[in-house]
Each structure stands twice: as C-alpha cells, then as structure tokens.
Structure 1
Amino acid sequence: MRHGNIILGLILLFAWNNGNAQWNEKQLESLKWREIGPYRGGRSAAVAGIPQDRETYYFGSTGGGVWKTPDGGNSWINVSDGFFGGSIGAVAVSSWDPNVIYVGTGEKTVRGNVSHGDGVWKSTDAGRSWEHSGLEDSRHISRIRIHPKNPDLVYAAVMGHLFGPNEQRGVFRSSDGGKSWQRILHVNEQAGAVDLAMDPTNPRILYATTWRVLRTPYSLESGGEGSGIWKSTDGGDSWESMAGNEGMPEPPLGIAGITVSPSNPDNLYAIIEASEGGVFRSSDAGKTWKRVNQERKLRQRAWYYSRINADPQDESVVYVLNVRFHKSKDGGKTFETLSTPHGDNHDLWIDPDDPDRMIQSNDGGANVSYDGGDNWSVQSNQPTAQMYRVSTDNAFPYRLLGGQQDNSAVRIRSRSAYGPAIGERDWEPTAGGESGHIVADPENPDIVYGGSYGGFLVRMDHRTGDRRIINVWPDNPMGWGAADLKYRFNWNFPLLFSPHEAKTLYAAGNVLFKTNDEGQTWQTISGDLTRNIKDKQQSSGGPITKDNTSVEYYGTIFAIAESLQEPGVIWAGSDDGLLHITRDGGESWKAVTPRGLPNEIQINSIEAHPFEPGG
C-alpha cells in the first residue's frame, strides 16, 4: 500500500514541478493544523489502573497512542506524543512502583485496516518521558504483565507479524526492565501469544494462550496449528500445554483468553474459540476443565474479542467482553449484560481491593466506573476517532465530512457558528456509515451522499431530514464471499462528484457506475477494472469461524479521480494493483499501471494535478 502511494505521489509531484517551477514551499509555513473533532473516542483495546490511586488510569488507542486521566476519566491527556504513537495493544503499570509503565505497540484487534507497532516503550516517571525497550520486530503486543514486587521483571505476549511468519513471537521475559528480552515460549513461526495471566498469589505461575492468525488483503484465518493454552510454574523457564487436558475442546483451537481468580488461584476461566468452544472453568489450576457456557453472544467473532476477567474477590464472578459487556455471578453458567457507553468491548482492569472500581474499553474509547458498571465516565473527551476518508463541501464556512470507524458519519464546521471555538454543536450526523466515503452535492451542500460497507449508499437532505437509500445494486452481501456477488463493493468503496458536471456522481465497485439523477438510476461505465482473481474472492474466515462482512472483499476499485482540466478523463485504481484511465467518459479504458508497482498492491488514493492536463 505504501509503495503504491509513493509511486503515484512521485508521478504527480513530477508533473507539479514541471508546471510550477517557481513554487516555494515557504508559502505553506503559515498553515497550522488544528483539531476540530468529532468529540468522541475511537477504539481502545488496552487499559490499566493503579490499585493505590483511585483517580489515575491509562488507555491505549488504536491510532492515537497512550492517554492518561488524573481525575477518574473527567479529562484525558496524551502522554506518548513526541515519543511514539500509533496503535497500542497493551498497557501495564507496576503496582509496586506506579511510575513504571510498559506499553506494547500494535493492536490486538486485527481488523482489515489494522496497523502494527514497533515493540515496547517504557516510562519511569508516570508517562512524562519514554524510552524504547526492544522487541522491534514484534509488530503486535497484546499483553504485558509485571511482577507485583519487581518492576524490572516483565513478561510480554507477542503476536508477531499478522501477514506472514516471523521469529519474534510468543512469550518474552525481561529481567532488567526491558533492556534485554528472552523468548521463553515459542510454538512456531505462525502462532504468537495473545493473552497472558499471572497468579497474583504466586507470580511464578503464569498462564498463556497462543494463537495462529493470518491476514491477507482478501482473507482472515483464525486458529489451527500452534493455537493453545499453556502453564508455567517456574516463572516461564518451562511450559506445559493444557490444550489436551480433560474437558478441553477438540482441536483445532483458535484464539483464547484466560484469567485467574485472585481469591482462589486454583479457579481459572478461559474463553476458547473452537467448534465446541465457549467459556471453560477449572477448579484445579488447569488440570481439568468443564465447559460452563456455550452462548454465541459470548464468543461471536472470536478473533475480535475473546477477553475474560475474573473478579478479584469472588471466584464465582467473571466478566466476558464481546459486542456487549457480560457479567456472571454463578461461575459462568449464566450472564447478565451491563450497559457501556459503546459496544464492541475489548479490555478490562478491575481494582483488586475494590471490585466496583474498574476501567473498560471498547470501540468508542475508554470509560471508568466506580459502581461496578452501573455508571461510566464519558467518551466525549477523547479525540481518538479513526476517520476513513475526509471531504469538504462548498458551504461558507466549509464543512468537513467523514465516516468514523465503528460509529457514524459526521459533518463538522470548519469555523464555529456558536462561539470562538469549534464544539459539539458544530458537528452532526450525516449520510452514510462508519466505513464510507462521504460527499456533498457541490451545488447544495445540505444534500449529502454517504456510503458504508456492503455497497450501502444513502442520500440525505439536511434541510428536510429526508434520507433515501440509493444503493447501486439492491443486494445485502453480508455473509457471502465476494465471488458469489454480481458486483463487488469494498468496505470503503469510492464516491466522487464530477468537477465538470455537478449532477454527475460516481460510485465504484469492481466496475465504475455513475448517476445523473441523484441516485434514482445508475449507469455502468466500465467493465471489471480489477484482476478478478476468483481464488481471492472466497468466503473468509476459518478454519473454525467464517467472517464475511465485506472487509475482505477483494478485486474492487479502491480509488477514483477525474481530471480537473479535461472532462471525461477519469482514473480508477484497484485494491489488487491495477490503474486504468478513460479519456471519453467511460466509453473505453486503457491500463496504465506504473512500471515497478508491486504486484497486487492496493492503490489507496489518486489525486489529479490541479493545473496540468493529464497530470
């Protein structure tokens, strides 16, 4: 993806320099970035608290680094900016010395738009400063555990590379505060460690889960050889597999989460992806197991969730994080659902001395509770939203429009209508969904067109509130592989208004469509502009759980642009590495894929030169 963007960018830069020899970059020096919203959080899969400090908490976001609150979630400050950032998979604070914090980078929630990290970062002054602490090639670190009385003795669950094999994966241990690391559990080059639990009464006893997971641009595989559950009784020097113990599900296994009850360390819970998976309980420290619950609500889309937490004071209480936040008071036999500010729940920390005090995270950010989840702090104070695309309209002052991952599409004023600063009243929901391109009618900015996954497309009139579905092809592809569909629409399929004909709107699947009547009818103006590799359009998921939400739909047009100088000159780039051009509005197309472009690379964006025809 990066190589494709670089090559296309160099082509456009070459054209720009040829036509604008007098361009001076200093003309841009007065421009400054400003944060304008939306004022709501994005996905977080890592949280931590401090037993002896009831007000201070941390969370790691999937695109915005590490955040800290000194006041129980009433406000948050970023503490990683200037040192590192990006996607965070694990945050751990030493209970012995809360100044010591370890952060593992690279998210555990391995979506199709996943981003990796660069290893471990450490702070010894409660987040004021940081230093890199190794495991550079780990890519994804999903758990860090610190010895309760020695902040220099730390363990990391390393998932490793997501798109292929590598050596730096498994469970790693550092005895010198992160200066050096020793791999102490390694299964194979395709399975890494995803969860890690420490017996709070005996830190020599460790439990780990390993997971074989593989992503490609067109598929997700969760489970298989290397996935399992492990135990060490000597601080990680040796490990014993528990996957074949009495009561465990038959292989293949997938992702698993594991937890120890502090009030009775022989009491373990695990949530396991398997054909006969679910919540499992052991009363003898893992020698034997019993499945206590198999409800789908606890184990759906296992690769995205599969976290489980034992209550620190009552061995019969256990929490499972999934789409909803679930709590059991009878050892996992039955679960009630607790409300959270947002769905898709990923991590939980509970105060060992006060089980009603907790911090929990989900696709909307992080939230703190002091009453066992009856009430939570807000997520509207965390500027960590992940926006897929951004566009502007022709209003004055202009608005910015975009879709937020696992939230709604929004439009935001570039200048407040209510005061000196942009606030919540300056943004509002608009057409489309979380994953789509959002574009406004160039002649009437109150009419907005928004896409979402599955080829879903909506026209919204903000003056009247009217919303109309104008899907190019009236089909719901959810659950199907791409090869079974008449048209293939990417999770993030392009929309574009013609700069020459204000009523012409383009939408792209594997072919290019256009409408001149606000979506009431659509015309096909190209053939298939992708490689159309059927082997890469099959049902995604397995070997245990299928997962077809269109994230993995492949062989689609991913970027389009029309010349600003020449009507009918349109470029289309595919997610499998082809670039085409038409010079007659779609009557004929020519392949113009740049030489040297990596095979099947995603062409993520195309920008036409603002002044040069053909550039």
Structure 2
Amino acid sequence: MSAATRTSPRTSARRRRWLTACALTASAALVALPASAAPGGDNSPFGARTLARLAAQRTHSAHAVTPRLTAEDDDGNEADEIAEGADQYAEARTSPGIVAPGAYGAAWQSLTNLPRTGGNWRDLTALPYDSDDARYRDFDSNSSGGSGRVTGRMAAMAADDDGYVYAGSAGGGVWRSRSGGGHWQPVSDRLPSQSTGALALDGAGRLWLGTGEATTNADAYLGSGVYVLSDPHHGTFSTRGRVGGDELESTTIHELRFGGGKVWAATSEGVWSHSTKKITGAWKLEFAPNPDYLPGGTKANDPSAAYKNIANDIAIDPKDPSKVVLAVGWRSGDDYNGFYTKVRGTWTRITSGLGDLPSDADGVGNVTFARSADGSRYYAIDQSPEQLHTNPDSGLEGIFVSKSGSPTGPWTKIADYKGLAASGSALTSSGYMPGIQAWYNQFLTVDPSDARHVYAGLEEVYESKDGGDTWSTVGPYWNFGFSCWSIDPAKQTGDCNPTTHSDQHGVAIGRHHGKSFVYVGNDGGAYRRPVDGSQDSAGHATDWTSLNDGTIDTLQYYSVGIGKDLAYGGDSVTGGLQDNGQSLLRGNDTVMGSNFGGDGGDTLTDPADGCNMAEEYVYLAVQVTQNCAVNDGSWITDPTKVTSYNVAPADNTTSEARFIAPLAADMRSSSTWIAGGRHIWVQTHGYAIRSGTEWKSLYDLGAGRTATAVAASGGKVYAAWCGPCNNQGFARGIAVGNADGTGWHDITLPATGADGTVPNRYLSGFAVDPHDADHVYLAVNGFSRHWTEGPGAGVGHVFESKDGGTTWKDISANLPDVPTNSAVVTPNGGLAVATDLGVVYRAPGRTSWQRVGGLPAVAVLQLKLSPDGSTLYAATHGRGIRAIKVRDCD
C-alpha cells in the first residue's frame, strides 16, 4: 500500500489500541509468509485497533476532561496501517526474493554447533506486568482498561481434568501449570521452534504440539513439525518426540484433530495424517488443493506458493470417523477455498447441502470447528473473503451449528456480527464490529457437559448457553466506553469488572479441584473463568482471572532502554512491545507498569536518568516524559499538568516512516537524537523537547525510500534505507553525513551484492565504535543467496567499515546464516549481534563467533548496554528482556 493511500497514525493524546494484529511471532521456526506476495494481501484488514474516545459524557468523574485531540485522531483505515507494519517485518526477512523452506532449521543447527560463552541470561521481566497500573493512569496509557496482568500472545491452550493447563505462545514456547493456571514452567525450550500453532490432548492424555503459528499474519513464523509428549504432567518436549519425518517442517499448523486412530494436521501445506499408535514413519499427505505449489513442485518458487494450500481445520464425524470434512482456503480468497470431503475415494468440494454454511469460494475463509462431547452437535466459525474485501465493518460470515452432529450439516447460522455487537460488545464504541479480524482472531469450544453451551472468540470472548439463540460478550474488548468506567485514578477501574485482553486465539476447558474452568489465550496471555460463571446486567463476566502471574514471560519486545534509577537505585528498564505498550521496570518494582498502550516501538532512555524516556508508537509517533510518566491525576482538573508530550517529526504526519521506525541518540551526546523516515531528522533538545516542530531535516533519502536504521556518534550520522522495500524491485542503501546538516551523501554500494560486499538485503542496524566514529559495523537481515532466490541476495550478515562507511568487509565468518537485527560494540572492543535465533559474540582480536548464554530459539530484535557498560540487555520477541554481564561473554 502506498504512503499516499494509508492513513496517518494518531499522534496526539489518545487511548492506544490493543487490537494490533501485527502480532509478531518470533521463534526459531521457519520462514515468515511474505505478505507482499499474497493474493489479496493489500486489501485485508490487519487489526482494526482503534481508540476508545475519552469523551467526558462517558465518565462518572465530576472532573473528567476530554483529552487533546487533533485532526489526526479521526478514525481512518488503521487496519491497513497495521497490515503494512506486519508486511514490513516479513519484508526484512524475505526481500529481495522468496526464502526456501529449511532456512531457520539449518541456522538453528549451525547456531547450536557454535561454542558458547560463559554466563547465563537473567530474565528481568519474569515478574507481573500490570497493564492497569494506576501509577500511569492518563490518556496515553491503557490503565483501567480492565485486562490487568499481561504477557505475550498465546496462540493455543490445552487443559485436562487434573488441574494441568498448557499455554502455547506465539514466540516463547509452551508452558505448563500444575495448579489450574499460574506458577508456569516452560516445557519446550529444547525444541528448534518456539512458535506454537496448535496444542491438543488425546484420549491417552498425551500432549501434541503443532509448531508454526497459523494466524496467517504476515510475520507468523513457520514451524519444525509436530511433537508429542507422553507424560505432559512431568516431562518436557524434545526433538526425540517429533512425529514422523521432516514432512511438516516449514509449515504452520492451525489445528490437530483426532479420529479413527489418526492425528490429522491442518497446515499451510495441506492436510496430513499420521497414526497415533506410533510416532515413527512419514506423515501422509491427505489433501493439497494445489500440489504443484508444494516444495518440490513445478511452481514451488512462485511468489504465491505459500498461499495455495492453506488448510484451516478438520471435522471428523463422531458416528463414522471415516467421514471427514476439510476447511481449506486462504483468508483473502482463492479459487480453491471451500469445504471438501471424500466422494468415492476422492477429495471433492462440497457444493450443496450445507444449509446456511457457504459452499462457494468467496464465502469460505478461515474456519474453526468445535464438536460437542456427546457428538450431538458441531459448531463452526467462518470468516468470509468476500466480507473481508467488501464490508468495512466485519469479515465474519457467521457462527453456525449442525444439529445433526454431522460435519456435512445441514448447518444453521446462529450468530452474525450485528447480533454479537448487540450482545454487550465494546467494539462498537471504538468504531468497529465483531469479526473485523475474524481471519486472525478465532477460537471455538463446547462445554463437555452441555452441548448447547458454547464459547466463541473473535476480538472479544462470547458465550451462549442456549445453542446460539442468545449471546453475551463475557470478555469485552475493554472497559473504556462503558458507563461504569471512570478515568479518575481514585476510582481504579470504577465499577467495571476485569476483562480479558483483546484478540482471541486459543481456548480449552478443564477442571481444577473439581470445578470446570474455561481457559482463553489472546494477545495479552492467558485468562480463565468458571465455565458456568457469573455475568453482570450487561452480560459481561464478573469472574475473569488473569493467569499472567509473572512466572510466564512470553513478552514480545521490539526494543529496550536502560538508564540509572536515581530514586531507587540500580537501572530503570523499559521497552516497546507488540500490542502491550511500553513496559517500565523501576529499581524497586516488584510489578512492572505501563504508561503507554497499544504497540510500543523504539525506545530511548537517558543513561544518566532513567525517568527521561522517549517512546515510539508507530510511524515515528514519539512521546517523551521526564518523570517516568508517573501521573498523580492532577491533569484531570488541569490539562496543562501532563506527564507526557507528543513530539513526532513530520514524517509521522505524512506517513513516510516505517511502521517501527528507527530512533537513536548520539553516543556522545544524549541530547542529540536522530530519527529516520523518508528524511533523516535531528533534534538537539534531548528529553526537554516539547513539540515535533523542534526536529530539523538533515537529508531527504528520496521519494519511495525510508530509513531502516540510524546511528550517530560525535555528530557523525549513519542512515540505512530501503525502497522499494518488498521483493518487487527491492533496493537498499546507506547515507552518511553530519548532525549539523553538512557532508551528506549516499554511499556507493554494488547493486548486485557481490561476494564480500554488502548484499542487496534489508540493512537492519549499525554499531559504532565509541572511540572512533569512522569505525562502524552493519547488521544485515534476511538470508543469504543459498536460501533466498532474489537478485543480489549475496552472502553475509555482519560487515565492518573503518573509513566511515565508504568501504565494507564481510566479517560473518562462522556466523550462522540467519537474519541479524542489531549490534553493539562492548567496552572491551567485542561485538555482540542480535539474530532471529539468539545472540552471538565476537571477542576482541578474534574472527570467529560464539553463542551467548543459553537462550532458547527466540528472536532478539535489539541490544543495548547498561549506562556503565557492564551489562548487555536483549529485547527478545517472545521471552522478555534478558541481561548478561559483558565480562561473562569473554
């Protein structure tokens, strides 16, 4: 989508949106789906995340005020903005071409073969993170929204009747609770993939894990197959438990279903089956609608290959397990979309007899099935490609029931988006309708003791106790906009009940101490309530409990910032998160707070005073605070007493910056900041900046180009750019100049990325030698040409220049062929590099690389040093913020 057609993000005071489907799934799974090549990719809403207006008439506070709003706060097509953000994450790893399956698997093997440094990473964020923290209750936070303690996105849930609960995260692996939720332990750290697609318990009590998150968002990583854990109460997953061979490597797995002595897998490469009696032997490909596009096929390298064989779910007839219905299709629509069953031994599209459930390709997109325990009913959620393209309100076709218990129907529609909106939904106050992200948000389950008792998940959680005749929004989007809500800090969450985080993905029902609970997984982690719980007069549940107690850390960070905590000692640590705002951990905190909602992008923190912070939302929407954003609520009666200021440079308002745009402070002057969009910007007021007009443009990269990385030291500035940034004509470059505006020029880089030169791939980060501004390192994303079939993919991931960027030398040596994201020069002259599979380190005077610490297979997006240089901090995208002593790396 061009910059001219997308809507500018909101840059003034606002209630941040939680519904960002650019939910990044960092893992060691295999390559991301390149959305730029996807059929219909540019037309698909990608997160209808909007803001709840803080209108005075919706509060009960006598002193409530309407926050500052500008024309940029008007509702626009925010969904397209979020879609572009996700596309950009994928572009960095796939451009300039298509990445072959197996890239991450080979990289993980190579990484594990590296020698390891000493020391171990400390998990700094392994403590509760309170999104409702009353210390930060202002109009730039989500405080009082009602979702309470959060962690990173949960893609799947499973639970048994013995109090054991299993949560599968998007990028941080699988976790187990022995106490009905809480007191979590990781159980998949030894696997080469930490991305979860499906979790399922079979009749023998074994836990099955399908790796590769299957939400079809542009940056969902693929997996390494299916694993089974025979003793889930006590054991942990290992590679020895992989089912079959390598048939399901490089896929995502949407669902695992059981029937007829088989486990069925709905994957991004068709439907497969395997015996449940033994895990050896190959998987059988049951059905692929377009086999020529599978690996090894004649069209395997076609840009649309990843979208031609997507299967979403499998429904097995409880009366006859040989009768199976497959839900197949790409969420944006394709000719092969539809429901299939075997007719005389051949998989055939069902074209009639389904009743209200669509049988045409335009009406069948992402589908989830659920069967009642007694076999009397089948339920289904269907997302419609046609609705996705033509209906600005919702992409939901509906929720359906087959009262015969057969997956072939006939099916009756029991809910549509209008009916769900009238059931107590909070989405309508945000300008959207239920199912706006039905291709991304879906779960469905039936109470084992009552075939008419159903839970459905979209952006919110819905419940029906009468088979779909009536519905209640038991887990509303948030509490903003409800009459019970008040922004007054003295009233905490007012009279509103706690709710779940938005964006629902996984669900399970289990028992603990003899009581049945429903467990839901979403973009904020895991929550539970009694299956037959209580509701208030609006139909909202009164009994949700957050299970994100701090023992489970799957937080997905983009960035990290560190500064001295002058009030409490030690360091103040903050970071920007996917869909969970900005976390803030003070020196004396036992609970992290959040002063900043929605997505959190890049972060700057004053090394001398950790309460001086700059936080990015998206597209360079920068906010600054000088008191850790602690707010005593006085701004309610006096709007001039704000704690945060919006200081976005002009590329924010013209939408000419990356979704997560680069922001950096000069290494020798924390008051000089560099920001990158189409222009390279500078401001010299540091944390005292109060307006976006204080930025000055240093250099225009040119139309269609946008900065991917910036760095500065002693007034010398480096800026990397791409444009176009996708695999359709991808180009990259580096510009160098001075912070005073002089000397700016483009570095001449070979267009082909010849051996030994900087490849024609995404340039993701600089690391400047603190003693010599002309000595700089460059981190290069994507995969080398062995895996990437694109022009100029070249080889190498880390390059060094000793002449200010004029010439570069490949120093990758034994570094695994894996996307690199960030780098820092340590005080002793070593070099630490963040990759999609962890952190590597090159000691001073050495040419080879070592693996740092013992991180599982998780992406690390940014590295920073503590103010005294003694500690290395890593922003992981799935396992929180980690820290290790620099001395332990040598």
TM-score tier (shorter):
0.7 to 0.9
**Does the Cα contact within 8 Å between 1:433 and 1:450 map onto a contact in 2?**
no
- 2:264 matches 1:146: no
Q: Which residue of 1 aligns with 2:182?
A: 74
Matches within 5 A, 1:55-134: 55-95=163-203, 97-98=204-205, 100-126=206-232, 127-130=235-238, 131=240, 132-133=242-243, 134=245
**Does the Cα contact within 8 Å between 1:58 and 1:68 map onto a contact in 2?**
yes
Structure 1 residues not aligned, in runs of 5+:
6-24, 160-168, 214-221, 418-422, 477-485, 533-554
Q: Which residue of 2 aligns with 1:490?
A: 658
State the one-letter code of the partner of 1:33.
Answer: W
Distance 1:430 1:270 in 2: 36
Distance 1:363 1:332 in 2: 26
Q: Secondary structure at the match of 1:275?
A: helix
- 2:735 matches 1:581: yes
State the one-letter code of the partner of 1:410.
Answer: S
Deviation at residue 500 of structure 1 after TM alignment: 3.3
Deviation at residue 382 of structure 1 after TM alignment: 1.1
Deviation at residue 106 of structure 1 after TM alignment: 0.8
Distance 2:562 2:436 in 1: 38
Change (3 A) 1:355 1:325: farther
Distance 2:766 2:198 in 1: 35
State the one-letter code of the partner of 2:764.
Answer: N
Q: Secondary structure at the match of 1:343?
A: coil
Change (3 A) 1:304 1:268: closer
Deviation at residue 498 of structure 1 after TM alignment: 1.7
Return 77-86 or 56-65, whichever deviates more.
77-86
**Does the Cα contact within 8 Å between 1:529 and 1:578 map onto a contact in 2?**
no
Q: Secondary structure at the match of 2:734?
A: strand
- 2:610 matches 1:450: no
Distance 1:233 1:356 in 2: 40
State the one-letter code of the partner of 2:321.
Answer: P
Q: Which of 375, 378, 381 pairs up with 2:547? A: 378
- 2:371 matches 1:260: yes
Distance 1:325 1:197 in 2: 22
Distance 1:344 1:331 in 2: 23
Distance 2:94 2:377 in 1: 51
Change (3 A) 1:368 1:266: closer
State the one-letter code of the partner of 1:509.
Answer: G
Distance 1:330 1:266 in 2: 12
Q: TM-score, normalised by structure 1?
A: 0.77
**Does the Cα contact within 8 Å between 2:154 and 2:523 map onto a contact in 1?**
yes
- 2:763 matches 1:603: yes
Instruction: Determine what percentage of the aligned residue pairs are the same residue.
Output: 24
- 2:578 matches 1:405: yes
Q: Which residue of 1 aligns with 2:328?
A: 210
**Does the Cα contact within 8 Å between 1:227 and 1:255 map onto a contact in 2?**
no
Deviation at residue 409 of structure 1 after TM alignment: 0.5
Q: Which residue of 2 aligns with 1:187?
A: 289
**Does the Cα contact within 8 Å between 2:152 and 2:524 map onto a contact in 1?**
yes
State the one-letter code of the partner of 2:266.
Answer: A
- 2:723 matches 1:525: no
Change (3 A) 1:264 1:118: closer
Distance 1:3 1:273 in 2: 28
Change (3 A) 1:474 1:525: closer
**Does the Cα contact within 8 Å between 1:257 and 1:270 map onto a contact in 2?**
yes
Distance 1:445 1:101 in 2: 44
Q: Secondary structure at the match of 2:285?
A: strand
Change (3 A) 1:527 1:195: farther
Distance 1:243 1:495 in 2: 54
State the one-letter code of the partner of 1:606.
Answer: F
Deviation at residue 443 of structure 1 after TM alignment: 4.9
Q: Which residue of 1 aligns with 2:157?
A: 47
Q: TM-score, normalised by structure 2?
A: 0.54
Q: Which residue of 2 aligns with 1:335?
A: 471
Q: Which residue of 2 aligns with 1:568?
A: 716
**Does the Cα contact within 8 Å between 2:370 and 2:444 map onto a contact in 1?**
yes
Change (3 A) 1:156 1:322: same
Q: Which of 417, 436, 440 pairs up with 1:295? A: 417
Distance 2:717 2:529 in 1: 56
| 1:361-381 deviations in Å (ceiling 9; x for gaps) | 111222344444533352123
Change (3 A) 1:3 1:110: closer
State the one-letter code of the partner of 2:626.
Answer: D
Bigger RCO of structures 1 and 2 (CA < 8 A, at least 6 apart):
2
- 2:558 matches 1:388: yes
- 2:472 matches 1:320: no
Change (3 A) 1:240 1:282: farther
**Does the Cα contact within 8 Å between 2:562 and 2:610 map onto a contact in 1?**
no
Change (3 A) 1:394 1:352: closer
Q: Which of 675, 684, 692 pairs up with 1:516? A: 684
Return 314-323 or 591-600, whichever deviates more.
591-600
Q: Which of 264, 272, 278 pairs up with 1:155? A: 264
State the one-letter code of the partner of 2:278.
Answer: G
Deviation at residue 290 of structure 1 after TM alignment: 3.6
Q: Which of 271, 274, 294 pairs up with 1:171? A: 271
State the one-letter code of the partner of 2:339.
Answer: I
Q: Secondary structure at the match of 1:446?
A: strand
**Does the Cα contact within 8 Å between 1:360 and 1:366 map onto a contact in 2?**
yes
Change (3 A) 1:410 1:455: same
Q: Secondary structure at the match of 2:189?
A: coil
| 1:179-227 deviations in Å (ceiling 9; x for gaps) | 22101121123131122333445433433311225xxxxxxxx222222
Distance 1:92 1:63 in 2: 18
Structure 2 residues not aligned, in runs of 5+:
1-91, 97-113, 128-149, 294-307, 388-396, 419-432, 476-498, 534-542, 632-642, 726-730, 777-890
State the one-letter code of the partner of 1:154.
Answer: V
Alignment root-mean-square deviation, CA: 3.3
Q: Secondary structure at the match of 2:162?
A: strand
